Structure 1
Amino acid sequence: MIAPGAIRNLRGPGQLLLQWPDGERTLSHARLRGACPCSQCRAARLAGSITVVPAEVRIERVEPQGYGVQLVFSDGHERGIYPWAYLRDLL
């Protein structure tokens, strides 16, 4: 999977802007937090736990990891690394 050419964290509106070869796409911070791919969050979703993510949650930092990005959220969660293909599937 090809990485996006640019990533911008739009904190005010709570959007992560990704510039892919076929165009720009945005994902809300709340959507990304709710779709966290870490093992703890994935296990909770598989067990049927529904966690409501507040619309106010924001991405504090975006840390490149080569095959994706680690997102650090304002609620303190920072375990998830989002592979590029996973981000594309969330669109």
Structure 2
Amino acid sequence: MTPGEVLLSPKALTLQWQDSGTVLDAGVLRAHCRCADCRAAALRGRPAAVVAGIELTGLVPLGHYAVQLQFSDGHERGIYPWPYLRQLAGLQDVTGVQSRP
């Protein structure tokens, strides 16, 4: 499912789905990056340390399936497919996104 509206602010990514709206915090998005480097670090037990006050600095659409997010710490390799963002939203609503999906 593709969101109808995508809004980027320094603190959050806001997605308007057909049935609901989601606001995902920049820190949550950075902590849950799925790029190869971040996943490898997490598998080694060394997940990326998210800098307090991290901000979103850019967004690049990738077709109709995902976005690539850019962060104030210079990280810009993560690709966030729409289903993954929706999954993060569900976890954030239930648990505050404490675990990696």
Look up the match of 1:22: 19
Q: Which runs of 5+ in 2 are unaligned?
A: 90-101
- Structure holding more strand per residue: 1
Structure 1 stretches of 4+ moved >2 Å:
none
Count of paired positions: 88
Query: 1:73, CA displacement in angstroms?
Result: 0.6
Look up the match of 1:45: 42
What TM-score, normalized to structure 2?
0.82
- Determine the C-alpha separation between the residues in 1 that align with 2:43 and 2:23: 26
Q: C-alpha offsets along residues 36-78 of structure 1, whole Å, 9 cap, x if unaligned?
A: 1101101111111133312311111111002100001111000
**Is the counterpart of residue 65 in structure 1 residue 72 in structure 2?**
no
Query: 1:25, CA displacement in angstroms?
Result: 0.6
What TM-score, normalized to structure 1?
0.90
Query: 1:10, CA displacement in angstroms?
Result: 2.2
Q: Which runs of 5+ in 1 are unaligned?
A: none
- Determine the C-alpha separation between the residues in 2 that align with 1:69 and 1:85: 11
Answer yes or no: is the 8 Å Cα contact 2:67–2:80 preserved in 1.
yes
Measured on the aligned residues, the alpha-carbon RMSD in Å equals 1.0
